Amino acid sequence: MKTLEERDASVIWHPYSQHGLKYPILPVVSAQGAYLYLEDGRKILDGISSWWVNLHGHAHPRIARAIAAQCEKMEHVIFAGFTHEPAVKLAETIMGGTHFARAFYSDNGSTAVEVALKIAYQYHLNRGDTKRQKFLALRHSYHGDTLGAMAVGEPDGYHAHFRSLLPRVDFVEPCDLGALKDLGSYAAFIFEPMVQGAGGMRMYPASYLREAIGMCRSHGVLTIGDEVFTGFFRTGTCFAYEYLGIAPDLLCLSKGITGGFLPLAMTLATESIFEVFCSQDMRQAFLHGHSYTANPVACAAALESWSILHSEECQARLTVIQAITRERIKRFKKARCIGTIGAVEMQGEHRSYLNAPPALLARQALARGVLLRPLGDVIYTVPPYCVTDQELHLIYDVIEEMLYSIGVGG
């Protein structure tokens, strides 16, 4: 009988993988808390929250119960012309206390960004402004893998093959306010606040974004905060834009929104943006949607995750994780942290995401029982919030071992 890995090899095409390199695929049979349990009996500490989605640990019982209860009531319903309690309550809950007034649901981070870009572009057209044919974005950014999201990502990064297909975007270096010129031709400025995730966990000051948003506002350019990664306390505050003292016009949320259980995304907008789409003319409407828009089961999971996030227990745990992260990160050269995110540059020979060494280092970490996935020359961790002190120290011990193994030390 074939093993699960052998069966996988004959039928599956994995994401961000070069199958020609024939790296082993690890069969996971169950997951609980901070651990993945493999078919061969090993357990792996999930140091990256399974691509940053798992906030509270795998198979969290409260979220599992919320999903089961919702499944017994209603699994899904068309969201055009209909509504339901989980979607309305989730929008009320997340937008409560913010300046956002409308939530548009979709399925993942890329679609949340696509929605925001299309809203921004059509917003100007609906107002009769046809001059705004471009977007503005930051170098080293990543916003997703669909066409619009790829367009506003790093032009020399993951999406180089598709550059000729993409909309017009100008890129500026983070912190370069002098590059923000002739803003009248831009529909929107999109950014990952405080931390550029897939670009290498690059961190930059709130002061830059605060001034950049102000400059965009003064020239009628909408601002889009991509918090697909940074949202839900990853940076220490619930949303990273809170560091700025000023909010963007549109906000993209996904990844951790359901605690890692189900796909869901939201694009939040202000009331003034929404009103520009309201008229008696259907052509002024935002004609966009997804089959599983506002899936009730996913919304129920997100509501329970939000409740757990704001519990005293979780907030206390976040405080400890941040303290350990700050303590451990001091031991490394060229290291940085914010909230629960810790990142260290390997400093030696340049390593690209497209080269083999990061994958080899990931295998080295797995041999020590820890899941880490370096981004080019950056080793990072974004652990689930259920991680214990001992487990978090183990993650940083393994990072230290990885650095010494390639001759760059701590």
Q: How confident is the model at residue 23 (pLDDT cuts 50, 70, 90)?
A: confident
pLDDT digits (tens, 9 = 90+) for 194-230: 999 999 999 999 999 999 999 999 999 999 999 999 9
Q: Are 148 and 174 in the same domain? A: yes
Q: How confident is the model at residue 157 (pLDDT cuts 50, 70, 90)?
A: confident
- 363 lies in a domain? yes
Among the candidates 243, 276, 309, a domain finishes at 309
Average pLDDT over the chain, rounded to whole?
95
pLDDT score of 356 more than 60: no
- 106 lies in a domain? yes
Q: Are 222 and 83 in the same domain? A: yes
pLDDT digits (tens, 9 = 90+) for 106-128: 999 999 999 999 999 999 999 99
Q: Are 128 and 252 in the same domain? A: yes
Q: Are 226 and 287 in the same domain? A: yes
pLDDT digits (tens, 9 = 90+) for 222-260: 999 999 999 999 999 999 999 999 999 999 999 999 999
Q: How much is the pLDDT for 156?
A: 83
Q: How much is the pLDDT for 353?
A: 59
Whether 255 is catalytic: yes
Question: Structure pTM?
Answer: 0.96
Q: Are 126 and 43 in the same domain? A: no
Reduced 3-state DSSP string for the chain: CCCHHHHHHHHCCCCCCCHHHCCCCCCEEEEEECEEEECCCCEEEECCHHHHCCCCCECCHHHHHHHHHHHHHCCCCCCCCCCCHHHHHHHHHHHCCCCCCEEEEECCHHHHHHHHHHHHHHHHHHCCCCCCCEEEEECCCCCCCCHHHHHCCCCCCCCHHHHHHCCCEEEECCCCHHHCCCHHHEEEEEECCCEECCCCCEECCHHHHHHHHHHHHHCCCEEEEECCCCCCCCCCCCCHHHHCCCCCCEEEECHHHHCCCCCCEEEEECHHHHHHCCCCCHHHCCCCCCCCCCCHHHHHHHHHHHHHHCCHHHHHHHHHHHHHHHHHHCCCCCEEEECCEEEEECCCCCCCCCCCHHHHHHHHHHHCCEECCCECCEEEECCCCCCCHHHHHHHHHHHHHHHHHCCCCC
**Per the residue annotation, which of 16, 176, 181, 389 is the catalytic one?**
16
pLDDT score of 402 more than 70: yes
**Per the residue annotation, which of 142, 186, 241, 243 is the catalytic one?**
142
Q: Are 121 and 31 in the same domain? A: no
Among the candidates 309, 324, 342, a domain finishes at 309
Q: Are 196 and 329 in the same domain? A: no
**Mean pLDDT confidence for 259-288:** 98
- 203 lies in a domain? yes
Q: How much is the pLDDT for 159?
A: 87
Whether 158 is catalytic: no
Q: Are 249 and 352 in the same domain? A: no
pLDDT score of 190 more than 60: yes
- 410 lies in a domain? no
Q: How much is the pLDDT for 292?
A: 97
Q: Are 349 and 386 in the same domain? A: yes
pLDDT score of 355 more than 80: no
Among the candidates 260, 287, 309, a domain finishes at 309
pLDDT digits (tens, 9 = 90+) for 136-155: 999 999 999 999 999 999 98
Q: Where residue 328 sits, what CATH number does that domain have?
A: 3.90.1150.10
- 336 lies in a domain? yes
Q: Number of folded domains in the chain? A: 2
Q: How much is the pLDDT for 10?
A: 95
Structural domain range at position 336: 4-59+312-405
**Per the residue annotation, which of 105, 121, 123, 255 is the catalytic one?**
255
Q: Where residue 226 sits, what CATH number does that domain have?
A: 3.40.640.10
Whether 226 is catalytic: yes
Q: How confident is the model at residue 410 (pLDDT cuts 50, 70, 90)?
A: low
Q: Are 154 and 173 in the same domain? A: yes
Q: How much is the pLDDT for 360?
A: 82
The region of weakest confidence among 11-15, 156-160, 304-308, 397-401 is 156-160
Q: How much is the pLDDT for 214?
A: 97
Q: Are 244 and 267 in the same domain? A: yes
Whether 385 is catalytic: no
Q: Are 82 and 194 in the same domain? A: yes
